[in-house]
Amino acid sequence: MFAYAIRRILATIPVMAIVALFVFSLLYLAPGDPAAIIAGDQATPADVDRIRISLGLDRPFLIRFGEWAWQVLNGDLGVSIFTNLPVTHMISQRIEPTLSLMSLTLIFSISFAIPMGVLAAWKQGAWIDRVVMVVAVLGFSVPVFVVGYILAYAFALQLDWFPVQGYTPISVGILPWFQNLALPSLALGLAFIALLARITRATMLEVLSQDYVRTAKAKGVDQRAILFVHALKNAAVPIVTIIGIGFAGLIGGAVVTESVFAIPGVGRLVVDAILRRDYPVIQGVVLMFSFVYVLVNLAVDLLYTLFDPRIRY
């Protein structure tokens, strides 16, 4: 198990290298002269030259990539073209709201979706199952920003239960932090909840028809333990897999959610950076999100061995 973890961690290195290469070449994949693109429409030829030199565009691609990669490994993501601040600094200023949003969304999603899916599978065909399935279909087909506006309208504007927008740091207090994030997390999580509930239901249905569930019943095990001990642990691998895969969607959704609810997070940062063609910032943020995604899926892989003793590497 330990050896496997080490091997699996080492295996993420080439993955990250490829991601880095891709992120770096983002700038050069765009058509036209990168320096001219960055400089924008109003730039003079002198501006463009200055930018070209400052980016080192006059030197070969691989050398530039090597230099950039070396910097990144040393924790230097470069300097924003727009603000002249280090990209790491800009990200670290914005990371808390985004991490908070994603964590709360994950917690919401898992704690709603899994019981929902388990319940629906247990009561297959009953009204509760239908309700869950309808919610699942709706949740999956309505885009984040629509859900976001509906939630904000109903619970913030009409009922006044939550603030409409903004963010309160956790250091100010857990409650205001939570109140600010509750609606955004729900909006962002809805599609995820829908997906997760469906997968949980389908997997549980399959597991509940297995012989060992009948054995458990024949032993006198009660329904709750059958569902949550005997069955859910067997359903865990597909569920955890979907959590890992769904996480990518969560990253994209976070960018939209931050815009809808005016949360000053990394998502907003990257949107602004794209509008200003602030490539170092874009690269830094994309690289960071990729890294988080790789980490999450590493965690998923390691969790497999915890849930299913048959999985050995």
Partner 1 sequence: MALLEVENLQTHFATLDGVVRAVEGLSFKIDAGETVAIVGESGCGKSVTSMSILRLIQEPPGKIAGKINFRGRNLLDLPDVEMRKIRGKDISMIFQEPMTSLNPVLTVGRQIGETVRLHEGLTAQEAEKRGIEMLGLVGIPAPERRVKEYPHQLSGGMRQRVMIAMALACNPKLLIADEPTTALDVTIQAQILDLMRDLKTRVGAAIMLITHDLGVVAEMAERVVVMYAGRKVEEATAVQIFGNPQHPYTRGLLGAVPKLGSSLQGHGRTKLTEIQGQVPSLRQRIVGCAFASRCPIVTDVCRQVAPAVEAKTPGHYVACHYAERAVAA
Name the residues that contact partner 1, by CB under 8 A: 210-212, 214-222, 229-230, 233-234, 307-310
Minimum CB distance to partner 1 smaller for 60 or for 125: 125
Minimum CB distance to partner 1 smaller for 126 or for 262: 126
194 φ/ψ angles, rounded to the nearest 5 degrees: -60, -50
Least CB distance to partner 1 at residue 215 (A) = 5
Least CB distance to partner 1 at residue 133 (A) = 20
Strand partners, 86: 79
Least CB distance to partner 1 at residue 129 (A) = 15
Least CB distance to partner 1 at residue 288 (A) = 35
Which structure tokens are listed for 178? 């939570």
Minimum CB distance to partner 1 smaller for 30 or for 306: 306
DSSP assignment of 85-119 equals: SBHHHHHHHHHHHHHHHHHHHHHHHHHHHHHHHHH
Angle at alpha carbon of residue 23, lines to 17 and 26, rounded to 5°:
145
Phi-psi region of 143 (alpha: psi -120 to 50; beta: other; left: phi over 0): beta
Minimum CB distance to partner 1 smaller for 227 or for 288: 227
Minimum CB distance to partner 1 smaller for 222 or for 272: 222
36 φ/ψ angles, rounded to the nearest 5 degrees: -65, -40
Least CB distance to partner 1 at residue 222 (A) = 6
Angle at alpha carbon of residue 174, lines to 296 and 164, rounded to 5°:
90
